[in-house]
Amino acid sequence: MSEGAAKKEEKPRKFQAIRGTRDLLPPETALWNRVERTAHEVFATFGFGEIRVPIFESTDLFARAVGGDTDIVSKEMYTFEDRPVGIPDLTAFTDLGEYVAAVESAIRREEIPNTPVNREAVQTLRKKFDDYAAASEQLKPGFSQGSDKKFETYRSFWYQTHFFAGHVQLGDLLSLRPEATASVCRSYIEHGMNSLPQPVKLYYTGPMFRRERPQKGRYRQFYQIGAEVLEAVRPDAAKQDAAKEIKKDATVDAEVIEMVMTFFDRLELQGVQLDINSIGCRECRPKYVELLRAELLKVKDKLGPDSQRRIETNPLRVLDSKLESEQGIIATLPHIADHLCEECAAHYASVKHQLEMRGVIYRENWRLVRGLDYYVRTTFEITAQGLGSQNAVCGGGRYDGLVELLGGPPTKGIGFAIGEDRLILSLQESGKASAQKGRDVYIAWMGERAHATAIRAAKDLRKAGFSVELPPVEQKFGKALGQADKLGAKYALILGDNEVSEGLWTLKTLADGSQAKYTEPDLLEHLRKQKALSS
């Protein structure tokens, strides 16, 4: 078959959004905008400033901050090798030796990651290649396929060289961000924000990426709105009144929670339920975890395989279990609140008191432990209605010490992340997603003179903030009015030769079909008044 014939038969491939990602379209995007606008407004009233961090970062940053054992890091991240320009992979070389030399020179010039692991990988590659080269020298005199032992050796080294070439890391490992707290902390350190007036209060909005099983309210690209409060620990903090410090932290926690609740309230999110807990600190939590492990071991055979495994790896996560058969057993387990150290107990009591002072209604949930490794003391989660089993719209907590873990100075932190997709779903389900308004004015024009006037009218109306549809071709007035109706326009402005020459424009209110004539300035005034009345 000739190439031309093949081309003719080939149907163009149909592209679809990648599994777990989706397009957000009008009119729904109007709701997304309203939600984000409200976040900007509410967070600003609490003194928060917006931060925009990159969408990808070093994989190590997330591994360190989120925790290597978490589902997020161990299996959900989108990670790729960021190869420097000009370092092609093996397939681009016909000569194996040239490739090995190129890699050696690249690591010397630090064009590819010059880490101990990578240096070792390059050394191994060199050794395998030298073995291979020696074997191929051996082969030269009596090259005979298959039968010759020498050929087997040669072939084995050829494979090994290729295998070890695959072990050399040609670029830095980067990941699409699965969350933003790690990035905000990285940024705090990088920009020396500890020398700004403390605490530093930041919020963000944007997409996050996790390779999870897509379902309602769970996507691979999803959106979060989050905030963080970071505060450098003063060198003299230990000498300060410890009780005062605990109360201050608790107050910050309560205000952050109050801010999220205010935001949800403003959006009229329905069925909002705030759960709080304290998961202790590095002093008291390990003791509780040991106690929990001991208790769980006593009932091990009554638990499912997941929980059995978690007795060893992370007993706290057993409390998270949704398995019906385990609920009775979990109910009898010791509560962390009874095992907090004195400081954590005081902190938790103070958070509750501060929430009450703010009129924030909460429920204590001793089983709330949350997935990320870095939390201490306060954890909280907010659920809303209409979401089925993915009903958490916000998760948050205190993470003192995370900045230090990332190489920064001693710093306290508290923050939250709202799942914007779920927030929107809940608003839609409860009818709080006010429908997108149609156009304000549809301009029905006929004739060239009228067109010129229509263009000017559209410009003036738009400048005054009205949404205007100006059709590009003239239409009979009947058809134009039908079109205006379809677009949900409130008014049709009718401009024909008569209107233009009289200087009196006809405005039709589509809801009731009433019609009136206005001069140009009167029309604008009338529309302004109507708009003010309806908003």
Residue 113 makes contact with ligand ATP by CB under 6 A: no
What is the CA 186 to chain-centroid distance, rounded?
16
Residue 424 makes contact with ligand ATP by CB under 6 A: no
- Pick 260 or 284: Cβ nearer ligand ATP: 260
Nearest approach, Cβ of residue 182 and ligand ATP (Å): 11
DSSP letter string over 135-195? HHHHHSTT--TTT-HHHHHHHHHHHHHHHHHTTS--SEEEEE-S-SHHHHHHHHHHTTGGG
- Pick 395 or 408: Cβ nearer ligand ATP: 395
Are residues 453 and 443 in contact, defined by beta-carbon separation less than 8 angstroms? no
- Using the rule CB under 6 A, which residue among 228, 231, 253, 421 binds ligand ATP? 421
Question: What is d(CA 351, CA 357) in angstroms, rounded to the nearest whole number?
Answer: 10
Question: What is d(CA 93, CA 193) in angstroms, rounded to the nearest whole number?
Answer: 47
* Nearest alpha carbon to residue 276 among 374, 401, 400, 361: 361
Strands 49-50 and 200-209: parallel
Nearest approach, Cβ of residue 278 and ligand ATP (Å): 17
Question: What is d(CA 238, CA 235) in angstroms, rounded to the nearest whole number?
Answer: 7
Residue nearest to ligand ATP (CB): 419
What is the CA 161 to chain-centroid distance, rounded?
41
| Residue 534 CB neighbours (<10 A) | 8
197 in helix, strand or coil? coil
3-state SS string for 31-59: HHHHHHHHHHHHHHHCCCEECCCCCEEEH
Q: Which residues contact 254 (CB under 8 A, 6 or more apart)?
A: 351, 354, 355, 357, 358, 360
- Pick 373 or 440: Cβ nearer ligand ATP: 373
Nearest approach, Cβ of residue 227 and ligand ATP (Å): 12
- Pick 48 or 219: Cβ nearer ligand ATP: 219
Within 205-224, the residues that bind ligand ATP by CB under 6 A are 210, 212, 217-219, 222, 224
* Nearest alpha carbon to residue 112 among 121, 103, 101: 103
Per-residue interface string for the shown chain with ligand ATP, residues 373-412, x marking contact by CB under 6 A? -----------------x-xxxx-----------------
- Using the rule CB under 6 A, which residue among 165, 417, 461, 495 binds ligand ATP? 417
- Using the rule CB under 6 A, which residue among 171, 206, 207, 371 binds ligand ATP? 371
Nearest approach, Cβ of residue 25 and ligand ATP (Å): 18
Are residues 384 and 377 in contact, defined by beta-carbon separation less than 8 angstroms? no
- Interface segment toward ligand ATP; rule CB under 6 A; list 8-16, 341-349, 416-424, 473-481: 416-424
- Pick 413 or 419: Cβ nearer ligand ATP: 419
Residue 199 makes contact with ligand ATP by CB under 6 A: no
Count of chain residues binding ligand ATP (CB under 6 A): 18
Nearest approach, Cβ of residue 420 and ligand ATP (Å): 8
- Pick 210 or 412: Cβ nearer ligand ATP: 210
Q: What are 418's strand-pairing partners?
A: 225, 394
Q: Which residues of the chain form contacts with ligand ATP (CB under 6 A)?
A: 179, 210, 212, 217-219, 222, 224, 371, 390, 392-395, 417, 419, 421-422
